[in-house]
Amino acid sequence: MIGGIRNRASMKKHQKHQPKHVDPMKTDSKRKEREKHHHCVSNREVLSKRDYVVLKTLGYGSFSIVKLARHQCKKPDLVAVKIISLSKVPVTYQKHFLSRELEFWPKLDHPHIVKFCETFEELERVYIVLEYVCNGDMMSYLQKFGALPEAKSKKYISQVCKAVDYLHSQNITHRDLKLENLLLDQNYNIKITDFGFVTSNKKCELSQTYCGTKSYASPEILRGEPYDPRKADTWAIGVILYIMGTSRMPFDESRGIKRIIEDQKRLNLSWGKTQKISRDCRHLLKRLFTYAYMSRPSVHDILLNKWFHSEANREKHVEYKERREIKEKTEEVDNIDSKDEVKQTKEKSSAPN
């Protein structure tokens, strides 16, 4: 009898510690209810709790939507809010790319980089509040106006290089420089945006993460080899400069990767007929498109290139020449005046008293 009681007690104890059966249908239903609740709570409601008033939608990304909003207390009041739905974002992207973007972007402070204001997470969405840049991106600008005069290309490329040189000085590489990521502010100055593929490069190690856009990718990336991300940024700047000057891509990506690599190595660039590309600009482009990345110039080297300073030097030369001519004329007038004075003195001394 005692043995029977023990057996029944042990059976109850065993049943007590057994995990309860989970109905997958109920779990799925709860998940759908939660997602439905999250969906019902609009971005407008979430942002209003933080004193942001949503004005309109600016654009869409693969996993995100960008809204224009106004802060009711802070200045400047207009901001762009990038809203990323975590339920749509692959785990690898969250871990390797989104986390880096949120780590590095807030630390950046440069006049030609979009300012990071704040970030917060709510209802499985990440909200990134950024400086609002009002005149669209460089791709839209070129589609509207076509190839740029060289002086304007020089201004924009100088601004891009200064921003990227700053990034590299902070041991950060962008890895996705392209026209769509160059925004234009109210004064039509460049602001670099989108740091989704940014990486730290403190030890100057080669990267093996193949990211970015194929049209702007350097040969070593297309070959699938380890690459120097700084020199990859340099190559992308070359693509941007070429498009600004000619309104066309330097390499036809529809030909396939193998042929693109061949074209990059051959480097028979077409300069077009609509704009005159100066010799200095062509020389710089050929340097930027150096096939072997170890021989490719750094962004700091680019800023020292004579293309950026040739016009300024010519202006200085003209200014110097004008000053010289004015000085020579002044000296000539002074000489004439002094000769007249000497002549008058002699005449006075020889005149009878």
Tokens of 49: 């709790």
Tell me the C-alpha distance between 266 and 118, whole Å.
Answer: 46
Radius of gyration of the chain (CA): 33
Among the listed residues 236, 200, 201, 204, the one whose alpha carbon sits nearest the alpha carbon of residue 218: 236
The answer to the question of whether 231 is labelled as a binding residue is: no
Helix/strand/coil for 330: helix
CA distances from 178 to 45, 183, 192, 289 (A): 34, 10, 9, 15
Catalytic residue among 176, 194, 228, 233: 176
Q: What does the DSSP 8-state code read for residue 340?
A: H
Q: Residues in the chain, how many?
A: 353
HSE, CB side, 13 Å, CA atoms: give it for residue 332: 6
Tokens of 265: 């190595």
Active site residue 176: yes
Q: Which residues are annotated as a binding site?
A: 82
* Residues known to be catalytic: 176
Q: Which residues are annotated as a binding site for ATP?
A: 82
